[in-house]
Structure 1
Amino acid sequence: MVPTDTSRLQNFPVSWFAMVMGLAGLTLALHRAEMVFELNNTASVVLLTLAIAVFISLAALYLLKIIRYPQHVRAELNHPVKLNFAPTISIGLVLISIAMLPHQKSASLLIWGVGAALHLCFTLYVLSAWIHHTHFEINHMNPAWFIPIVGNILVPIAGVQHGFVELSWFFFSIGLVFWIVLLAIIFNRMFFHHPLPGKLLPTLFILIAPPGIGFISWMQLNGELDAFARILYYSALFLTLMLFTQASRFLKLQFFLSWWAYSFPMAAVTLATLSMYQLLGNPFFKWLGAILLVLLVVLITGLLARTAVAVARREICIDE
């Protein structure tokens, strides 16, 4: 993972932080499975520790990049695609804070506060860049554009638990409204313009995340499995089914860091499915959640292995 020369450091992409999202998402899904199947929490604690260690390592490297190569960081923040991965830093913090809730509530509060504030800053920056851009085109649009704005929908999951109910509604409202707007634009781009390039095709899985994690946030805010909660969950489940039918296309793709886009959305729908079982007691959701969890574990194990191979072969942190 660690760049070994200056050229690799200057090309160290911010999209590395999507790995933290995947690991933290798996941690949350595993913790929920431990509750559903009445298991001890060893696996989720180990994964939480790994997610924190990966975040710290990546943050240290990216900070070094900011210090040594600020011009390359500015280039990422002005790039129509790479720009949208910068908020994976703040989302990683928010997810870690959620995962820490059952173990260290005070530490969770501190990390949540930093992550939520940072993500709001990213939201304002990215939205301003979208409004005042001079070089973005419809072909630049892809599901990764959900990350900066719709990522706000994650904040209430820990925010409500920490007592910030109205602030949580604020963040949820931002994420929900812009999810609807961006969803329409993204489908317009996919239906009526050129297909996504292979490097960005894995970002299609990001379509699952807003309704999947939105369901979890809505349950925190509303506390009731109402009609809107069901719409969110079943939308996520349908999108998952739709993307599974495209499996042959995804399996043919060359490896890029964008493959980590598979991970968090899969974790989101797995977590939502296990939560549906807890709410309804219907065994269908219990065993569907178990199947999704197995697939998620296999997926992230494969991503870790393939990423390690790519690092060894110097396929990552290169000039694009």
Structure 2
Amino acid sequence: MTLDRAPVPVSFFSIAVGVLALGNAWRVAERLWHLPHGIADLLTWSGIVLWLALLALYAHKWLHHASDARAELNHPVQSSFAALGPVSSLLAAMALEPHSHPLALAVFALAVTAQLALGLQLYGRMWQGSGKPELITPAIYLPAVAQNFVAGAAAAAFGWPSLGMLFFGAGLFSWLAIESLILSRAALQGPLPEALRPVLGIQLAPAVVGGVTYLAVNGGKPDLFAQILLGYGLYQALLLLRLLPWIARQPFVPSYWAFSFGVAALPTLALRLLASGATGPVEWLAPALFAAANVIIGVLAFKTVALLLQGRLLPAVTAPR
């Protein structure tokens, strides 16, 4: 028997999502604070390279490890992470739009089609029942909430805010419905196993990703609802800080990238509110949140590279000689 490495999990798309989302935050910060140009581009192109590499690795998985890929899509928790493929593709489409509109539009069209098909398949499966309550985690936000929110922001970026509003509405009410399931699981079931606890980082994302999308489709008005979404996002961030010692009993694994989308979107929402003329607490919150996001995602990247260099990024599997 020999040791081999498992094919790339679909959840690794969270790495590309986190890097691309931090690039978006830097792009707003560069305009707002006249920061040196280049860091946003570096992050964005790094995210695009990661996205392309992960697409290739995931296609290889379907070609050479199809049983593993199917098992992942049928798993009650892992299947939700498949939504990160379309999410990262939509973020990539927005990043590519200033450089090649036809290419970006093609990526957008493919990603929107994929996210609708995948979201309806996975969310519809949940509606059919027979799920185990103890396996409900914030990962279930990804097919119906994350995909629709990012599709809404992408539609607005391509000049279709009315279409973006439809996606925003789908994501918003899915979020409100699903959150009650997650709270019910927390109240009535036992604690999450240590291996699943990093997935709680996704809990930060709906309010702040939704807030970024809302500003994209409403013309950037820093109105009451936009600031309400920021307030709820801040509360979720404080809640995760309170839970961090409990979550961190799980040694670092790539699933900690579940924090990255929300961590990057939180300062992006604050920065966009500030750029749109909002005043008050957001004036000092924005720089603090931006600095924290860079530190957190920097740590995630450092630890991930360390695992890669140690040959431990992917789990080992036993293969026959």
Q: What TM-score does the superposition give when structure 1 sets the normalisation length? A: 0.91
- What is the CA-CA distance between 1:58 and the residue it aligns to? 1.2
Structure 1 residue aligned with 2:204: 208
State the distance in 2 between where 1:87 and 1:123 align: 7
Q: Does 1:249 align with 2:236?
A: no
Structure 2 residue aligned with 1:147: 142
Label 1:293 to 1:102 Cα distance change in 2 as closer, same or farther (>3 A): farther
**Can you give the 5+ residue segments of structure 2 that lack an aligned partner in the other structure?**
none
State the distance in 2 between where 1:164 and 1:95 align: 16
Partner deviation per Cα, 1:241-275 (whole Å, 9 max, x = no partner): 22223333344431222100111110011101111
Label 1:258 to 1:250 Cα distance change in 2 as closer, same or farther (>3 A): same
Q: Does 1:189 align with 2:164?
A: no
- What is the CA-CA distance between 1:280 and the residue it aligns to? 3.0
- What is the CA-CA distance between 1:175 and the residue it aligns to? 0.8
Label 1:161 to 1:306 Cα distance change in 2 as closer, same or farther (>3 A): closer
Q: Determine if contact 1:101/1:158 at 8 Å carries over to the other structure.
A: no
State the distance in 1 between where 2:97 and 2:285 align: 26
Q: Does 1:237 align with 2:228?
A: no
State the distance in 1 between where 2:127 and 2:247 align: 33
Amino acid at match of 1:292: L
Structure 1 residue aligned with 2:118: 122
Label 1:289 to 1:139 Cα distance change in 2 as closer, same or farther (>3 A): same
Q: Which stretch shifts more, 166-175 or 145-154? A: 166-175
State the distance in 1 between where 2:313 and 2:223 align: 47
Match of 1:166 among 140, 145, 162: 162
Partner deviation per Cα, 1:95-132 (whole Å, 9 max, x = no partner): 12223344444433222222211111110110232233
Q: Does 1:305 align with 2:305?
A: no
Label 1:161 to 1:187 Cα distance change in 2 as closer, same or farther (>3 A): same
Partner deviation per Cα, 1:127-181 (whole Å, 9 max, x = no partner): 23223354x2001100011011101111121212323333322221211111011
Structure 2 residue aligned with 1:69: 65
Q: Determine if contact 2:3/2:317 at 8 Å carries over to the other structure.
A: no
Match of 1:23 among 15, 19, 26: 19
Structure 2 residue aligned with 1:84: 80
Q: What TM-score does the superposition give when structure 2 sets the normalisation length? A: 0.91
State the distance in 2 between where 1:305 and 1:123 align: 32
Q: Which stretch shifts more, 34-43 or 266-275? A: 34-43
Q: Determine if contact 1:212/1:268 at 8 Å carries over to the other structure.
A: yes
Amino acid at match of 1:71: S
Matches within 5 A, 1:98-109: 98-109=94-105
Structure 2 residue aligned with 1:316: 314
- What is the CA-CA distance between 1:182 and the residue it aligns to? 0.5
State the distance in 2 between where 1:7 and 1:78 align: 23
**C-alpha root-mean-square deviation of aligned residues, in Å?**
2.1
Amino acid at match of 2:95: A
Q: Which stretch shifts more, 241-250 or 101-110? A: 101-110
Q: Determine if contact 1:277/1:283 at 8 Å carries over to the other structure.
A: no
- What is the CA-CA distance between 1:25 and the residue it aligns to? 0.8
Partner deviation per Cα, 1:164-203 (whole Å, 9 max, x = no partner): 3333222212111110110000011012211222222222
Q: Does 1:138 align with 2:155?
A: no
State the secondary structure of the residue aligned to 1:80. Answer: coil
Q: Report sequence identity in percent.
A: 28
Partner deviation per Cα, 1:193-233 (whole Å, 9 max, x = no partner): 11222222222221221110111111222233333222212
- What is the CA-CA distance between 1:7 and the residue it aligns to? 4.1
Count of aligned positions: 314
Label 1:314 to 1:205 Cα distance change in 2 as closer, same or farther (>3 A): closer
Q: Determine if contact 2:94/2:104 at 8 Å carries over to the other structure.
A: yes
Amino acid at match of 1:142: T
